[in-house]
Amino acid sequence: MSQRTTVTELPRHLHQFMADVARLVYPARCEYINRLLVGEKERLIIKEIQPKYGINKRQANGIRIEAKASIKSANECRQEHIKKIKDQIKSTKSWLKKQQKKIKTIPVACDLRTRRSCRQNKKFAIHNKKRRLYLLENKLDHLKDAPLKVKIGQKKTQYLTVGSKDESFGNQIAQYDGSKIIFRVPYALEAKYGKYIHAPLSFPYKPEWIEDAIKHNRALTYRIYAKNLRWFIACSTEVPEPEKISYSRYYGCMGIDINPNVIGYARIDRDGNLREKGQIKFNLHSKSQNQQLAILHNVCLKIVNLCVKNKCPLVVEKLDFTAKKAQMREKGTATCRMLSNFSYGKITELLTQKAQNVGVEIIFVSPAYSSLMGLVKYLKLYGMSSDTAAALVLARRAMRLSERVPLQVAYPIMTMGKHVWNAWHTLNKKLNKQLCLRRHSYFSLSNRELEVMLEDEFLAIAKKGFSHKRKRASRIR
């Protein structure tokens, strides 16, 4: 069972009633949160709030759930904030350490126009960075010791009624029978609106979810909120999972590699061989939030439709950019723009929703060395781009297929008794830091050429180590 929500607009003659109820409930919610933060017992708070604000037990239960959810959200946000500040402090200290070493090599010569040397500019930058470090450390100490504050925002335009499976039509306060909805009026407003108020209502999107929930006695929770001078009602209920249409992962998978402006996909068969590949390009730069969301919806829909067509599960890499986004202040402009536009969390959320709606299994795997494996093994073999090659590796990883280092490359780097990722780690360091190969060079570079380059580099290091030992032995003599 999964939670699903459908939304529609409330009739106009209910707008004033909902505004009055929201204004009535708002101070009760604030008092409930404040008393919970002090440490009072929930049973005592509920007992005193009901007669004070003129609400019944079920309406007070909705306030209780909203208050506890707000406190939980505030706690989670504080922990995320503390983690982000710790990452920023770590990044700032690393930058200071590098720049303080680098300042010694900067020439003293100055600019004739500004009369300031490069060394002075660097010292000024280091001074400002130290000030920022001091502020971050003070902020971290304050967050660890300060009492929790819960901000619920403009909740005077929101009202929640929580349902139960033991109640008729899944909810005691708001009952929807398919054609109209009946609200139980709070005690404090009965003189103005009477005991009950009703209006015709229909949900244009997925009404069968509500009909099925009423038929099988499942709870229906309604959230009424105002937006752009209009009132809407959102109905949430549990919906059975659709029938699974994708085969087992061992019959083949569809892997995707998510990048800021392109998503590469690759489909493999039961033997791990490539059957289909491609790219879906999109541009989120200089787009509004609604435009970005519409673009991502279309991209995710194309990917899920490919899985439905081939009846295969979807494989996605599990990434976390929290630490990298905390270090953006010390990075270049291009890197900051790339990280800001990279909506990985939103893409994975949309993919998960759309895959669940149609019955496609979604599998999350580790992204470790997937790009390197695709470059070395599959880029030239299949004539792929780097993202589609990485998607191929991710799909094979979901099928528990091993990616070993090619034999021509393995000799200079392999260590007996180590995990295969240890060899990929060593190869990654040699290719990136010592040989400095670019991605497009893997199309023209044969395995034999790569083997020769690695062997030359390995022999040079060994020769350097042997001469160093020889000099040391001569000094001892």
Domains of the chain by residue range = 2-72+152-239, 251-403, 408-477
Say which range, 123-127, 239-243, 330-334, 433-437, has the weakest mean pLDDT. 433-437
* CATH code of domain 251-403: 3.30.420.140
Q: Per residue in 393-434, pLDDT tens?
A: 999 999 998 888 776 665 555 566 677 777 787 777 777 665
Q: Give me the helices (H) in 39-149, please.
A: 42-53, 57-102, 118-145
Chain-wide mean pLDDT for the chain? 83
Specify the 3-state DSSP secondary structure of 198: strand
DSSP bridge pairs for 235: 6, 222
Q: Per residue in 445-471, pLDDT tens?
A: 555 555 555 555 555 655 555 454 444
For residues 219 and 237, the answer to whether their CB atoms sit within 8 Å is yes
- Residue 175's contacts (CB-CB under 8 Å, 6 or more residues apart) are 168, 169, 181, 182
Task: Name the helix (H) or strand (E) containing 221.
Answer: strand 221-227
Q: Per residue in 344-394, pLDDT tens?
A: 788 888 999 899 888 899 999 988 888 888 888 888 888 888 899 999 999
Instruction: Work out the pLDDT band at 477, boundaries 50, 70, 90.
Output: very low
pLDDT reported for residue 472: 43
Average pLDDT of the residues in 45-58: 90
Q: Per residue in 82-118, pLDDT tens?
A: 999 998 999 899 999 988 888 888 877 777 777 778 8
Instruction: Work out the pLDDT band at 336, boundaries 50, 70, 90.
Output: low
How does DSSP assign 3-39, residue by residue? EEEEEEEPPGGGHHHHHHHHHHHHHHHHHHHHHHHHT
Tokens found for residue 115? 């009369």
CA angle 400, 323, 315 (to 5 degrees): 25
Q: Higher confidence at residue 380 or residue 182? A: 182
For residues 403 and 420, the answer to whether their CB atoms sit within 8 Å is yes
Q: How many CB atoms lie within 10 A of CB 367?
A: 18
DSSP bridge pairs for 236: 5, 221
Strands 174-176, 180-184: pairing is antiparallel
Q: Per residue in 220-260, pLDDT tens?
A: 999 999 988 889 999 999 888 888 888 999 999 999 998 88
